[in-house]
Chain A
Amino acid sequence: MSVRAVVPTANVSPVPTLGTAVNTNGTVPPAADGNAGGMPAVSVENLHKRYGSGGSAVVALDGVSFDVERGSVVGLLGPNGAGKTSALKSALGLLLPDEGSVSVMGVDVGGDPERAYRHVGAMLEGARNVYWRLTPRENIRFFASLQGLDPRTEARRAYHDHLLETLDLADRADDSLNDFSQGMKQKVALACTLARETPVVFLDEPTLGLDVEATRNLRDRVRALADEEGRTVVLSSHDMDVVQAVCDRVVIMNEGRIVADDDVDSLVGLFRTREYAVTVDGTAAEVRGALDGAFDPVGLRETAERTTFEVTVPDGRFYDLTDALRGAGLEVLSLSTVEPDLEEAFLRLTDRGESDGRRGRAGTWSAPTPEADR
């Protein structure tokens, strides 16, 4: 079990303590309580949302479903207009879906939003979530109060100091945000979200507009939310490096649907294990002839009696490929696996979305149907 210490406890001890914490903000501990309850931290079920009507209607969500395990970091990925923000805002009750339901820590967000908000906080639109005329400390105190948490208790003051320290804001805790950089403002926004002391945190594009160092710092901080405080994090981002580095699992959306829902390694491995770059001592025509009907070589390039190409090999058919080449008298000069990263996986999955489609669930990947009417 990870350390999850500094969130003030229900007993309002004079200083934040380490160990099992029960939040003053409801009955659910803010930090990891493992999978004790059994139920997922977030459960999104069959969300549909359409804007407008008739021919100009836009489908933002088309049967979106996914669960988020407690204490995990799940990334929501997708191109612009994929439905990420609609999914996040529906999950938070800020957008009313036409159909479907969302529960956070077992509480139906649509049916009892106020109770649900005791368990979930969100940082939306990065630096625009805080009052720029207030100081970081004033912002933190305000958002804690908005949660019904008294910021004047000794334990909470210590927790707020801790937030300022860990986010490198302590030196400027009493300066107006007006003069802050974008990265500093986003850190304040994150601090304010954490000041709500909720076990589930939604972060929408937390690194948007940040420089490399600020992105790395924030990335580390987000990972620590799960590892050290045991919070559940749902993160939407365009930044693949961030998602790959931080997330345990990724939900990829395209055109209002989920096209993949799996852990990061599996998504990357899906392509890593199947695609090869091959060089043989023959012409492109000979390669085509050797593999005709059995494999689909792409990117053929002829150079001085050699041909290089890439080919996707279904599970268990690697030796069929080499046998086919040898059978045609082609010597394999080099063969290497193509190592895609998450970005590569993302691009392929969303590209595939143009022509094939099924809705994904955990551990599966699929793509939207062409009739997705957007």
Chain B
Amino acid sequence: MSASGWLTETAVLARAVAYKSLVLRVRYAFNTVTSLFTIYVFFALLFFGGREIAPQAIDDSLTGIIVGFFLILTATVAYADLSWELIREAQWGTLEQLYMSPLGFGRVVTIKTAVNLLVAFGFGGVLLGAMLVTTGETLVLDPLVVLPVGFLTICTAVGVGYVLGGLALVFKRIENVFQIVQFSFVGLVAAPVDQFPLLKLLPLALGSDLLRDGMGRGTPLWDLPTADLALLIVTAVGYLVVGYALFGLLSRKARADGKLGKY
């Protein structure tokens, strides 16, 4: 197939996946709104409750808390949506239909992930706005920092999402793994990477630290440590490639075990 044919087909599929994602989110609006609202309520409780108990501590770390919540929501939507969608598609009986696309299951899943990333940034943006209005705080939202650093940071979570997606195809019930990963991500967003540099290799940790610098202190992209930016690129690509490879192996195992369409 020619490159233009490949691109045309990809665009056709991307449009369809985005449209379906949007329509299903609107038609499952209650679920969509409550998931966003729950995180906001959790933040509001932490913010107002914390101010009553330890106002100085909250004020000192408010920027970190806001950036952390933004990252947690964005990363969660990005990594968990893929796994949940694969589980739901298996339940709906549509997963095997997706697999039978001549564009390739890998391309279908990658496009789904890209759409999820856009949705994740959309949700993150809405939550970020709500948090800033609630707290009266201001952040430096330099797109040259937020977009590339945020994207690379979320890519590390997406790599984990690929692995979870593959596990979901094989084992179906992986809710407990989700909870462990979710708790781990909360810890990693606040990880003290300056004290323990090895933590930079874990998902979200390094990117979260760089975003706090960029959004909290207004550090421009070119003033962020070059070595850290390079490491962020390496970890983002590494997690994506390894996660995708494991997803491929696990989906092959699901096919070998006859579990692809089962739930």
Residues of A within 8 A of B (CB): 25-26, 51, 60, 86, 89, 92-96, 114-115, 117-118, 120-122, 124-125, 128-134, 138, 141-143, 145-151, 176, 192
If A117-B102, A118-B102 touch, whether A95 touches B97 (CB-CB below 8 Å) is no
If A26-B102, A95-B258, A117-B100 touch, whether A145 touches B13 (CB-CB below 8 Å) is yes
Q: Is B9 an interface residue (CB 8 A)?
A: yes
A residues less than 8 Å from B103 (CB atoms) = 114, 146, 148
| A314 to B27 Cα, complex, angstroms | 65
B residues less than 8 Å from A125 (CB atoms) = 93, 261
| A96 to B249 Cα, complex, angstroms | 13
| A147 to B99 Cα, complex, angstroms | 11
User: Would you list which residues of chain B between 13 and 53 have a CB under 8 Å from chain A?
Assistant: 13, 15-16, 19-20, 23-24, 27-28
Q: Is B67 an interface residue (CB 8 A)?
A: no
If A94-B100, A128-B93, A142-B16 touch, whether A86 touches B23 (CB-CB below 8 Å) is no
B residues less than 8 Å from A118 (CB atoms) = 102
A residues less than 8 Å from B99 (CB atoms) = 93-94
If A124-B96, A133-B28 touch, whether A25 touches B15 (CB-CB below 8 Å) is no
Q: Is B201 an interface residue (CB 8 A)?
A: no
Are B16 and A96 touching (Cβ within 8 A)? no
B residues less than 8 Å from A115 (CB atoms) = 102
If A95-B255, A96-B252, A133-B28 touch, whether A150 touches B104 (CB-CB below 8 Å) is no
User: Would you list which residues of chain B between 214 and 263 have a CB under 8 Å from chain A?
Assistant: 252, 255-258, 260-261
B residues less than 8 Å from A145 (CB atoms) = 12-13, 15-16
A residues less than 8 Å from B202 (CB atoms) = none
| A125 to B16 Cα, complex, angstroms | 23
The chain A residue with its CB closest to the CB of B101 is A146
B residues less than 8 Å from A148 (CB atoms) = 8-9, 12-13, 101-103
A residues less than 8 Å from B104 (CB atoms) = 114
Q: Is B94 an interface residue (CB 8 A)?
A: yes
DSSP class of A's interface residues: helix, strand, loop or mixed? Answer: loop
| Residue from the list B12, B92, B101, B102 in contact with A131, Cβ < 8 A | B92
Q: Is B108 an interface residue (CB 8 A)?
A: yes
Q: Is B190 an interface residue (CB 8 A)?
A: no
If A114-B102, A125-B93 touch, whether A146 touches B13 (CB-CB below 8 Å) is yes
| Residue from the list A96, A114, A117, A129 in contact with B93, Cβ < 8 A | A129
Q: Is B98 an interface residue (CB 8 A)?
A: yes
Which 7 A-B pairs rank lowest in CB-CB distance, beginning with the nearest? A128-B93, A145-B16, A148-B9, A117-B102, A118-B102, A96-B256, A133-B27
| Residue from the list A89, A117, A192 in contact with B101, Cβ < 8 A | A117
If A131-B20, A133-B28 touch, whether A121 touches B93 (CB-CB below 8 Å) is no
| A145 to B96 Cα, complex, angstroms | 15
- Total A-B residue pairs with C-beta atoms closer than 8 Å? 101
User: Would you list which residues of chain B between 79 and 133 have a CB under 8 Å from chain A?
Assistant: 92-94, 96-104, 108
The chain B residue with its CB closest to the CB of A51 is B258
If A124-B96, A146-B97 touch, whether A96 touches B12 (CB-CB below 8 Å) is no
Are B98 and A146 touching (Cβ within 8 A)? yes
| A92 to B101 Cα, complex, angstroms | 11
| A25 to B108 Cα, complex, angstroms | 17
Are A124 and B20 touching (Cβ within 8 A)? no
The chain A residue with its CB closest to the CB of B260 is A94
Q: From residue B248, how far is it (CB to closest CB) to chain A in Å?
A: 13
| Residue from the list B27, B101, B257 in contact with A147, Cβ < 8 A | B101
B residues less than 8 Å from A147 (CB atoms) = 101-102
Q: From residue A353, how far is it (CB to closest CB) to chain B in Å?
A: 23
Are B9 and A134 touching (Cβ within 8 A)? no
Interface string of B153-173 (1 = CB under 8 A from A): 000000000000000000000
B residues less than 8 Å from A143 (CB atoms) = 97
Are B16 and A146 touching (Cβ within 8 A)? yes
Q: From residue A37, how far is it (CB to closest CB) to chain B in Å?
A: 19
| A131 to B28 Cα, complex, angstroms | 13
| A363 to B255 Cα, complex, angstroms | 32
The chain A residue with its CB closest to the CB of B10 is A148
| A295 to B15 Cα, complex, angstroms | 70
A residues less than 8 Å from B93 (CB atoms) = 124-125, 128-129
Q: From residue A27, how far is it (CB to closest CB) to chain B in Å?
A: 11
B residues less than 8 Å from A141 (CB atoms) = 16
Q: From residue B176, how far is it (CB to closest CB) to chain A in Å?
A: 25
| A142 to B101 Cα, complex, angstroms | 11
If A25-B102, A124-B93, A124-B261 touch, whether A133 touches B23 (CB-CB below 8 Å) is yes
A residues less than 8 Å from B24 (CB atoms) = 131, 133-134
B residues less than 8 Å from A150 (CB atoms) = 8, 12
Q: From residue A199, how far is it (CB to closest CB) to chain B in Å?
A: 13
A residues less than 8 Å from B9 (CB atoms) = 148
Q: From residue A116, how far is it (CB to closest CB) to chain B in Å?
A: 8
Q: From residue A358, how far is it (CB to closest CB) to chain B in Å?
A: 27
The chain B residue with its CB closest to the CB of A118 is B102
| A92 to B8 Cα, complex, angstroms | 25
If A89-B258, A94-B260 touch, whether A128 touches B13 (CB-CB below 8 Å) is no
| A253 to B257 Cα, complex, angstroms | 21
Instruction: Enumerate 21 A-B pairs (CB-CB under 8 Å) in ascending A order.
Output: A25-B102, A92-B100, A93-B99, A93-B100, A94-B96, A94-B99, A96-B256, A114-B103, A115-B102, A122-B97, A124-B93, A129-B93, A133-B28, A146-B98, A146-B101, A146-B108, A148-B8, A148-B102, A149-B12, A151-B12, A151-B16
B residues less than 8 Å from A151 (CB atoms) = 12, 16
Q: From residue B7, how far is it (CB to closest CB) to chain A in Å?
A: 11
Residue among B8, B15, B93, B252 having the largest count of chain A Cβ atoms under 10 Å: B93
| A146 to B12 Cα, complex, angstroms | 8
